Amino acid sequence: MYQKKEIVNKLRSSGLRPTKQRIVIAKNLFDRKKTFHFTVETLNIAIHRKCNERISLATIYNTVEAFKRAGHIREILTSNNKNYYDTNIKSHHHFYDPDTKELTDIDYQEVVLNKIPNPPKGKKIKDLEVVISLQKK
């Protein structure tokens, strides 16, 4: 269970003022048993369900972007044309079901790579993600 203090520290440590709105959003994102795969829309709905004070959509967009830049959440690769985020920032992989457009985490140890290519000149590898697309048997 996340204390308010921890959230405030998390925000402060990444140079973000701990405003009322950011604290509500952070609590919603990080105070969960399982990691959360979300879009701005689903996050917005989750917030509205839990608390009665309304947070502007623009703020949710701003905050999600700020959290992303701070490394508190990460953007997920999809073939949707909306931004998809994940509160699990550890390197990990996903199953993707194109029928339901649902993502499921795959633990990092579940995938073992034996060989990966060298990055192009001047670049280094930031992250490696495996997406396993599914279909009905």
Using CB under 7 A as the criterion, which residues of the chain lie in contact with DNA when the complex forms?
12, 16-22, 39-41, 54-59, 61-63, 65, 81-83
Q: How many residues does the chain have?
A: 137
CA atoms within 13 A on the CB side of 11: 22
Cβ nearer to DNA, comparing 79 with 114: 79
Q: How far is the CB of 54 from its own copies (least distance, A)?
A: 25
Residue 76 touches its own copies, criterion: CB under 8 A: yes
Q: Which of 21, 35, 62, 83 binds its own copies (CB under 8 A)?
A: 83
Distance CA 129, CA 94 (A): 8
Q: Which residues contact 36 (CB under 8 A, 6 or more apart)?
A: 29, 86, 87
Size of interface with its own copies, in residues (CB under 8 A): 43
